[in-house]
Chains A and B, each alone.
Chain A
Amino acid sequence: MRQRAWSRLLLYVICIFMSLFFLMPVYVMLVTSVKPLDEVTLADMWKLPTTFDWSSYQTAFAKLAPNFWNSVYLVVPATLLSAMLGALNGYVLSKWKFKGADTIFTLILFGMFIPYQSILIPLIQFLREIGLYNTIPGLIFVHVVYGIPITTLMFRNFYAAIPDEMIESAKIDGAGFLRIFRYIMLPLSITGFVVVAIWQFTNIWNEFLFAVTITTSAQQPIMVALQNLSGSQIVQWNVQMAGALLAALPTLLVYIFLGKYFVRGLLAGSVKG
């Protein structure tokens, strides 16, 4: 039994050590962002601030606020639209299977693995043609289209768990495609919508490649602005860390309060049913 106690202790030591590794960046971010400028020196990076100074947040917010709102205007409609589209697709591909449905599903699924660099040049040409280049609606459109594979996959897996007999007996009762969706599937898919919405919200908020290539300056979402902020040499570290924290805050809050659903989405998107 003594050996067991020692091995338990060892487990805790490893867990705590790994936790320190995972929390180290958060500590540095928090501590640096509330330091007054004269305490932000290379040698004192790990030290706690002597006084709290929120001015770096003011500076960072002043620089990032417009882009923050761009991200909000982007992420809300894009998330809602792609969740709706995914729900419909998942419904068709799980409950109204036709010959070749699985092949079509696999072909759709491939779209979530491609490097987006391989569609970026035509995509930008296309957006220029239709006048959506360098606009938030353009980015919304892009995220809805390239969100189809993952949202379809998640809803298809989710709906696969709803017994087919329910659909069959509803059909016998005379319910059609839309009625079944409206009165059986939708009420049962609230969890599904939460999971997919959180997943899409997080991914679109954090996305960088589309954002940096499809929009310029005033239209740019927060992550591009953050990258620009850290790329410019004149911006101080405390402002950069405050900016990084501000940019990360929405998805971090979602994770803190709805983490369970976030992890579910991750598993739904990675393990195929």
Chain B
Amino acid sequence: METVKTVSERSVTVVPAPRKKRKWTVDHWLAAAFLTPSVVLIFIFVYGFIGWTGYVSLSNWNSLVPDLSFAGLKNYIYLFHDFRFQADLRNTLVFTILFIGVVIVLGQLLAILLDQKLRGESIFRNIFFFPMALSFVVTGVVWQWLLNPSTGVNLFLKKFGLDSKWYTDTTILGGFHLGNIEFGVPVAIVAVVIAAVWQMTGFAVAMYLAGLRAIPEEVREAARMDGATELQIYRKIIIPLLRPITVSVIIIMAHISLKIFDLIYAMTGPGANFVTDVPGVYMFETTFRGNYYANGAAIAMIMLLSVAIFIVPYLISSRKGGS
């Protein structure tokens, strides 16, 4: 620590060095050498393997024996005509919209509540946050029981005359025929959304809370001086200021939701008529239980593409916006 202090003290007195042209020294080579293994690993294990998966997805490898002969888009065409995959696309779309919508509304609401200097704020905060430390598998196991139609929360709801079938419900709300499936909102998905919201809302609350704390008090003071009520301050000033955080929350939740696997696998599985099935579960089962490697690879590539649509613009824009 001693050296640190002297170094930093000195830096204060030293005149800012003129921006001289940096030349590559031994140290620069050393720095590059230390970074290289990670870069090589990422290039092989992320980009190389994605390329390889893409190649498998265009092959005939749909049995235990690898067969990498070229099949063109056969596997993709099969999937888009497949009842199960069509159901997966519907479920992912519905799940993603419901999940992100609830997380944003609830996350913002709870963050604003916690920002009101309530007594016991830290207790509430910890209660909202702790599910994030749990595994999706644990969440799945517990909520599977809580939303079991013959027990759990239904014991309460029955007193109010409500009796939901939760994840065993095969009804598709607002359904109409599209392709091979009934397109609409599968009621069973709601059960999975509740469990996912329970687990991930804390994430959004933490982000919104950090955003709220970053808004200077003067902003509110100025608004109060102008005679704005607390409600108006939130509606007209604070919530619009939180919009960039909402974008981050959407990106993070969207990529979680598009690749979700463990929660659904542990909680409901594919469900009757695939009402709770998602591409992650289908990919796992068809590849590692059914040995349809090329089909599994094609599902994985579609999942990757759906995530990349969100992530790539986000990464590029945050790079430009950042330092």
Task: Digitize B108-123: 1 where CB-to-A-CB distance is under 8 Å, 0 elsewhere.
Answer: 0110011010100000
Give Cα distance in the complex from A166 to B128, angstroms. 40
Q: CB-nearest residue of chain B relative to A259?
A: B126
- Nearest-CB residue, chain B, relative to A24: B146
Mask of A107-123 contacts with B, CB within 8 angstroms, 1/0:
11111011111111111
| In contact, A18 and B110 (Cβ under 8 angstroms) | yes
Q: Which of B35-43, B165-173, B181-189, B232-240 contacts A (4 or more CB under 8 A)?
A: B35-43
Provide the residues of chain B in CB contact with A85, threshold 8 Å.
38
A244 lies within 8 A of B138 (CB): yes
Q: Measured between alpha carbons, how far is A96 from B131 in the docked complex, in Å? A: 38
Closest chain-A Cβ to B200's Cβ sits at a distance in Å of 11
CB closest residue in chain A, given B156: A46
Whether A118 contacts B304 by the Cβ 8 Å rule is yes
Q: Taking the complex as formed, is B130 at the interface, i.e. its CB lies under 8 A from any CB of chain A?
A: yes
- What separation, in Å, do the CA atoms of A117 and B48 have in the docked complex? 14
Q: Given A29, A89, A92, A120, which contacts B300 in the complex, CB threshold below 8 Å? A: A120
A270 and B207 in contact (CB under 8 A), knowing A223-B135, A227-B137, A255-B133?
yes
How many residues on B have C-beta within 8 angstroms of the other chain's C-beta atoms? 105
Query: Which of the four size classes fits the interface of chain A?
Result: 35 or more
**Which residues of chain B are within 8 angstroms of A19 by Cβ–Cβ distance?**
124, 127-128
| Known A-B contacts A11-B118, A43-B151, A110-B312; A176 and B30 likewise in contact (beta carbons under 8 Å) | yes
Binds B, one of A62-70, A130-138, A144-152: A144-152
Q: Is the CB of B41 within 8 A of A145?
A: yes
Q: Which of B14, B49, B139, B152 contacts A123 (CB 8 A)?
A: B49
Contact partner of A205 among B50, B135, B153, B301, CB < 8 A? B135
B210 to chain A minimum Cβ distance, whole angstroms, is 6
Flag whether A42 is at the interface (Cβ < 8 A). yes
A70-92 with Cβ < 8 A to chain B: 85, 88-89, 91-92
For B266, give the chain A residue with the smallest CB separation.
A227
Flag whether B76 is at the interface (Cβ < 8 A).
Answer: no
- What's the least CB distance linking A249 to chain B, in Å? 10
Residue ID in chain B nearest A114 by CB atoms: B304
Within 8 A of B (CB), among A17-69: 18-19, 21-25, 28-29, 32, 42-43, 45-46
Nearest CB in chain B to that of A173: its residue: B7
Q: Knowing A106-B315, A122-B52, A205-B135, say if A184 contacts B300 (CB, 8 Å).
A: no
Q: From known contacts A152-B38, A240-B141, infer whether A115 and B303 are also in contact, taking CB-CB under 8 Å.
A: yes
* CB atoms of B322 and A272 under 8 A apart: yes
- Residue numbers in B under 8 Å from A18 (CB-CB): 110, 124, 128
Chain A residues with CB below 8 A from B280, complex form: 115, 117, 209
> Which of B97-105, B217-225, B282-290 contacts its partner?
B282-290
A119 touches B49 (CB 8 A): yes
Closest to A248 in B: B138
Min CB gap A1→B, angstroms: 14
Chain A min CB distance to B272 (Å):
17
For B116, what are the chain A residues with a Cβ–Cβ distance below 8 Å?
A: 8, 11
Q: Is A193 close to B, CB under 8 A? A: no
Partner among A29, A106, A114, A254 whose Cβ is within 8 Å of the Cβ of B319:
A106
Q: Pick the contact of A122 from B53, B118, B130 — CB < 8 Å?
A: B53
Q: Are A244 and B304 in contact (CB under 8 A)?
A: no
- What separation, in Å, do the CA atoms of A209 and B266 have in the docked complex? 11
* A215 interface hit (Cβ, 8 Å): no
10 extra interface residue pairs, beta carbon distance < 8 Å, beyond A92-B34, A118-B303: A8-B118, A92-B35, A93-B35, A106-B319, A119-B45, A120-B287, A169-B14, A184-B4, A208-B262, A213-B284
Please provide the 6 A-B residue pairs with the shortest distance between their CB atoms, ordered closest to farther: A206-B135, A115-B259, A96-B31, A255-B133, A119-B49, A42-B151
20 contacts between A and B (CB under 8 A): A19-B128, A45-B152, A88-B38, A96-B27, A98-B31, A104-B39, A107-B42, A110-B312, A114-B46, A117-B283, A121-B56, A165-B11, A178-B30, A240-B141, A248-B138, A252-B134, A255-B132, A267-B206, A270-B203, A270-B252
Residues on B lying within 8 angstroms of A by beta carbon are 1, 3-4, 7-8, 10-12, 14, 16-17, 26-28, 30-32, 34-35, 38-39, 41-43, 45-50, 52-53, 56, 109-110, 113-114, 116, 118, 124, 126-146, 148, 150-153, 155-156, 198, 203, 206-207, 210, 248, 252, 255, 258-259, 261-262, 265-266, 279-280, 283-284, 287-288, 293, 296-297, 299-301, 303-304, 307, 311-312, 315-316, 318-319, 322-323
